[in-house]
């Protein structure tokens, strides 16, 4: 069972960020331990003469080559469609990929995506040939509009970025899955613990994107491994078919021929 992103089949359903790790070495070990084949990264102002960006990029290229994976540039920090489109074009020139995690923030307090600017940006970028993976809120109609525009992958949030609060609104997330059965749905942001990721997969989500939950763990490498296992457990549970809940208790041990003291 593989994850399909714009026609690319990936063995792992986990997409992982490259920020906030205690060191580049721990980042690499954690990414390898997670089994992920998609690593996110970004762009920012730096002086190229200092070579810092070159070092980061070379290091991440080594990692994705080792896992036969892909880089996924994001548009973190953008507040308008225009900013996001410009940053997307800059990313495509540097990273030589048309994959893009589209992120347009609308509020400074909870870093909530701006749905209006997100739609505008997605439309322009799709028309320009990008494979857009929009990070959005868990609003069904917004997700439908993004899908109708041509976003084959939709990434609703579990909760605000970096909070680790997990799935704040399971009903919304389940409804999006139900109403968009053909979209590739990846839960992005707010994941705190492996059981959060497992729950998303049990809902039928296609994957999970996370960063802080691994990078900020006491042992990022072990946590990365735990997330990889949690996603697999949740996926297997979903595919196996979860039993229907029942209102009344039913004995799991057969009652026929139970000992005599239960018979009156």
Given the rule CB under 8 A, which residues bind another protein? Answer: 17-21, 27, 40-49, 52-54, 56-57, 60, 73-74, 76, 82-83, 86-87, 89-91, 93-95, 161, 211-212
Rounded to 5 degrees, φ, ψ at 12 are -100, 145
Q: Could you tell me the smallest distance in angstroms from the CB atom of residue 45 to another protein?
A: 5
Question: Is the CB of 94 or the CB of 239 nearer to another protein?
Answer: 94
Catalytic residue among 101, 131, 165, 193: 101
Q: Give catalytic status of residue 101 as yes or no.
A: yes
Q: Give yes or no for a contact between 224 and 195, defined as CB atoms under 8 angstroms apart.
A: no
Q: Could you tell me the smallest distance in angstroms from the CB atom of residue 170 to another protein?
A: 23
Q: How far is CA 121 from the centre of its chain?
A: 20
Question: Is the CB of 107 or the CB of 242 nearer to another protein?
Answer: 107
Q: How far apart are CA 188 and CA 185, in angstroms?
A: 9
Q: How far apart are CA 262 and CA 264, in angstroms?
A: 6
Q: Could you tell me the smallest distance in angstroms from the CB atom of residue 172 to another protein?
A: 22
Cα dihedral sign, 37-190-24-48: positive
Which of 207, 210, 192, 206 is closest to 39 using CA atoms?
210
195 sits in which H/E element: helix 194-202
CA dist 206 to 4, 22, 51, 101, 133, Å?
Answer: 9, 29, 37, 16, 13
Question: Is the CB of 95 or the CB of 99 nearer to another protein?
Answer: 95
Question: Is the CB of 50 or the CB of 148 nearer to another protein?
Answer: 50
Q: Could you tell me the smallest distance in angstroms from the CB atom of residue 20 to another protein?
A: 7
Q: Which residues belong to the active site?
A: 101
């Amino acid at each position: 069972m593989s994850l399909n992103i714009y026609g690319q089949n990936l063995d792992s359903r986990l997409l992982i960020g490259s920020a906030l790790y205690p060191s580049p070495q721990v980042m690499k070990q954690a990414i390898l331990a997670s089994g992920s084949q998609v690593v996110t990264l970004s762009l920012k102002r730096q002086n190229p003469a200092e070579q810092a960006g070159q070092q980061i990029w070379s290091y991440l290229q080594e990692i994705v080559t080792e896992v036969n994976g892909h880089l996924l540039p994001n548009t973190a920090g953008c507040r308008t469609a225009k900013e996001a489109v410009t940053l997307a074009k800059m990313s495509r020139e540097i990273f030589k990929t048309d994959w893009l995690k589209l992120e347009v923030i609308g509020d400074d307090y909870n870093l909530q995506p701006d749905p209006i600017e997100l739609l505008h940006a997605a439309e322009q970028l799709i028309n320009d040939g990008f494979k857009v993976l929009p990070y959005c809120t868990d609003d069904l109609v917004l997700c439908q509009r993004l899908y109708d525009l041509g976003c084959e992958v939709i990434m609703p949030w579990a909760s605000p970025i970096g909070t680790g609060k997990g799935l704040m609104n399971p009903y919304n997330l389940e409804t999006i899955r139900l109403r968009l059965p053909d979209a590739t749905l990846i839960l992005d942001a707010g994941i705190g613990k492996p059981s959060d990721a497992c729950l998303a997969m049990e809902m039928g989500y296609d994957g999970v994107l996370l960063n802080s939950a691994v990078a900020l763990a006491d042992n990022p490498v072990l946590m990365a491994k735990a997330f990889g296992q949690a996603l697999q457990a949740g996926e297997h549970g979903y595919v196996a078919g979860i039993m229907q809940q029942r209102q009344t208790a039913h004995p799991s041990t057969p009652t026929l021929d139970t000992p005599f003291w239960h018979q009156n």
